[in-house]
Structure 1
Amino acid sequence: MSDGFKLSIVVPCYNEEEVLHETTKELTAILHGLIADQKITPTSKIVFVDDGSKDKTWQLIDTFSKENEVVSGVKLSRNFGHQGALLAGVTTASKDSDAVITIDADLQDDVNAIPKMVDEYLNGSEVVYGVRNNRDTDTAFKRSTAEMFYKFMGFLGVKLVPDSADYRLMSQRACKVLLSYKERNLFLRGIVPLVGFKSSKVYYARKERFAGVSKYPLKKMLKFAIDGITSFSIVPIKMIMGLGFFIVLISIVLLIYSLVQKVNGNVVDGWSSLMISIWALGGVQLISISVIGEYVGKIFSEVKQRPRFTIEEDIYTEKTQQENKR
């Protein structure tokens, strides 16, 4: 493989004008280094995916693509969310790339792990996960909730790679299998392990965000976790059934206890126990309906089969076509 293989680095962007200069600089240096080592071809690309940004993100991508031969971009017609933008980039780049790496634009994931991923690919791995070797940059709350999430997903039978996000390398074959999964409720961290093929891990230290603000506040993180749970397991519904049987068992025990107390003449006013029972059962019922409603809502969005993303402009394909004509 002396001539190397074509690599595309997909970078989803949403209002990232503050960090794009540095991201482009660092990723360009990585690509040029790999090209010089003849591990990848000179036609390898950085593919920025503008996910409906409201700032100057797309203008910067367009400018960089004209000034830098390895930079290209894809502009989505509106905001489709981080997972949708990732999928749009993978769909576009995997058509003619031998391998695709996905990484966020904020530079928290160490770009120096990319050469290690490339080496793993050259050694036969078709999926290479970027895995954090520590969570020192996270708050205690985020560390503990992340640990609980991975443990809970494992309890539900969902195979995830702990401490890995959406920083990974996938071969063209692995990308094609990934794209054959047609669900609209995207949770790529759960879908990618289902792809199979030989996989490996590359460990790195996660950094502080270079600039700008996180696009995943607590509210979005909770929604992301709920999507992950309900998209890959029906265990919560089974747990509701178990909870229902448990409450029925408790009610039978209380009924027997009440009859015994009545026979013994120890009947007392039951206002407190009655109110507690009503509120407790009401809460359980509302939670149960909400969980079931979450699944029904996902079915509703899946059966409509709306596009998972819509591309407005595609600099990557234009550049690739021009290079092929030379």
Structure 2
Amino acid sequence: MASIQPININLIVPCYNEEAVLPETSRQLLAMLGKLQVQGRIDGESRVTFVDDGSRDRTWQMIEELSRQDARVHGIKLSRNQGHQNALLAGLLSARGDVLVSLDADLQDDIDAIPRMLDEYERGADIVYGVRARRDTDTVFKRWTARAYYGLLRKFGVDIVPDHADFRLMSRRSLDALRDFREVNLFLRGIIPMLGFRTAIVTYDRLSRFAGESKYPVLKMLALALNGIFSFSTVPLQWITVFGFILSAASMAIGIWALFIRFATTLAIPGWASTVIPMYFLGGLQLLALGIIGGYLSRIYSETKQRPRFIIEKSI
């Protein structure tokens, strides 16, 4: 169903060292805009905005060249690398448009899902999530860890859309609401559902990366996963308390048992293993508890400094 008034849409594409894929990404996205404009669904001011997240290659030079070739291409250059989530936020908060669609530069997000996202927007959805229809192209390890992670977040009380990354459509009023969220430790997949507007889901098949290499190695994925837990749930802190009570009771029981063996029997042996095992076990648990508490404290430290999440060096 076509809208009465053409929509001004802006495609937000965070980039970090993406020179290998940018020409093809730009070509496909501009072709999509052209197709939608011919159909009368979007207006002539619709555009693509690439956000250069402090790339070390020729990404920004290529964005400038693409902009000279086609006025629909715009760019935002951050002063330094701030990470994918901050680069994405910079685009969402800085770009114009009635509707913004965020997607990755590697063309793994199927752009053919964008017209279906617009359908849902026209039906009244302010936020439309692009959700993977299946994960059979992933390795067994990645598929299992992804499902376990989403399940864990749900158990922690985090409102999150399973199998959704950052491929989504957002209306202007949902973006205005997002502007009020000031946290430095960003996990947009957890923040967006908190906005509370009407949402919809569009499924798609994730494609192979067109060129280049993933900018999310295991350590970065782990850091993002921990951010999702520490930023939206205090359940781990509650678990520490529960485990502390349980282990205190268990330690007391072991102590009583050890005293019984020592004074009521002749079975006590010097250097008894039951003395060493609980000591190491409790020591390890204490370190784990301190690590979890440290995770929260480090994020509190970052938030209290209130440093800017990104600095825009240049825009075109």
Q: Normalized against structure 2, the TM-score is what?
A: 0.97
Counterpart of 1:320 in structure 2 is none
Alpha-carbon offset, residue 279 of structure 1: 1.5
Alpha-carbon offset, residue 264 of structure 1: 3.1
Alpha-carbon offset, residue 208 of structure 1: 1.1
Q: Determine the C-alpha separation between the residues in 2 that align with 1:121 and 1:303.
A: 37
Which of these residues, 20, 23, 41, is aligned with residue 21 of structure 1?
A: 23
Q: Determine the C-alpha separation between the residues in 2 that align with 1:202 and 1:152.
A: 24
Alpha-carbon offset, residue 206 of structure 1: 0.4
Assess if the C-alpha contact under 8 Å between 1:2 and 1:38 holds in 2. no
Runs of 4+ in 1 over 3 A off after TM superposition: none
After TM superposition, list the pairs within 5 Å mapping 1:186-265 onto structure 2.
186-261=186-261, 262-265=263-266
User: How many percent of aligned residue pairs carry the same amino acid?
Assistant: 49
Per-residue CA shift, 1:189-232, capped at 9, x if unaligned? 00000011111000000011111000001111111101110000
Alpha-carbon offset, residue 138 of structure 1: 1.2
Alpha-carbon offset, residue 314 of structure 1: 1.2
The gaps in structure 2 that reach 5 residues or longer are none
Alpha-carbon offset, residue 7 of structure 1: 0.5
Q: Determine the C-alpha separation between the residues in 1 that align with 2:234 and 2:4.
A: 48
Q: Determine the C-alpha separation between the residues in 2 that align with 1:207 and 1:139.
A: 14
Amino acid at match of 2:57: D
After TM superposition, list the pairs within 5 Å mapping 1:309-320 onto structure 2.
309-315=310-316
Counterpart of 1:137 in structure 2 is 137
Counterpart of 1:321 in structure 2 is none
Assess if the C-alpha contact under 8 Å between 2:251 and 2:278 holds in 1. no
Q: Normalized against structure 1, the TM-score is what?
A: 0.94
After TM superposition, list the pairs within 5 Å mapping 1:107-126 onto structure 2.
107-126=107-126
Amino acid at match of 2:315: D
* SS in structure 1 of the partner of residue 298 of structure 2: helix
Counterpart of 1:278 in structure 2 is 279
Counterpart of 1:51 in structure 2 is 53
Q: Determine the C-alpha separation between the residues in 2 that align with 1:35 and 1:51.
A: 29
Amino acid at match of 1:89: G
* SS in structure 1 of the partner of residue 224 of structure 2: helix
Amino acid at match of 1:246: I
Alpha-carbon offset, residue 266 of structure 1: 2.8
Counterpart of 1:183 in structure 2 is 183
Counterpart of 2:36 in structure 1 is 34
Q: Determine the C-alpha separation between the residues in 1 that align with 2:164 and 2:309.
A: 23
Which of these residues, 7, 10, 20, is aligned with residue 8 of structure 1?
A: 10
Q: Determine the C-alpha separation between the residues in 1 that align with 2:5 and 2:202.
A: 24
Counterpart of 2:84 in structure 1 is 82
Amino acid at match of 2:140: A
Amino acid at match of 1:186: L
Alpha-carbon offset, residue 63 of structure 1: 0.5
Per-residue CA shift, 1:81-109, capped at 9, x if unaligned? 0000000000111xx41111000000111
Q: Determine the C-alpha separation between the residues in 1 that align with 2:303 and 2:237.
A: 19
Q: Determine the C-alpha separation between the residues in 1 that align with 2:271 and 2:142.
A: 43
* SS in structure 1 of the partner of residue 19 of structure 2: coil
Per-residue CA shift, 1:168-205, capped at 9, x if unaligned? 00000001111110000000000000011111000000
Q: Determine the C-alpha separation between the residues in 2 that align with 1:293 and 1:168.
A: 33
Q: Determine the C-alpha separation between the residues in 1 that align with 2:260 and 2:272.
A: 19
* SS in structure 2 of the partner of residue 265 of structure 1: coil
Alpha-carbon offset, residue 144 of structure 1: 0.4
Amino acid at match of 2:156: L
Amino acid at match of 2:12: V
* SS in structure 1 of the partner of residue 165 of structure 2: strand
Q: Determine the C-alpha separation between the residues in 2 that align with 1:236 and 1:70.
A: 47
Q: Determine the C-alpha separation between the residues in 1 that align with 2:120 and 2:86.
A: 27
Q: Determine the C-alpha separation between the residues in 1 that align with 2:108 and 2:216.
A: 13
Amino acid at match of 1:28: L
Q: Determine the C-alpha separation between the residues in 2 that align with 1:34 and 1:122.
A: 14
Alpha-carbon offset, residue 51 of structure 1: 0.2
* SS in structure 1 of the partner of residue 76 of structure 2: strand
Alpha-carbon offset, residue 255 of structure 1: 1.9
Alpha-carbon offset, residue 260 of structure 1: 2.6
The number of residues matched between the two structures is: 313
Counterpart of 1:98 in structure 2 is 98
The gaps in structure 1 that reach 5 residues or longer are 316-326
* SS in structure 2 of the partner of residue 134 of structure 1: coil
CA RMSD of aligned residues (A): 1.0
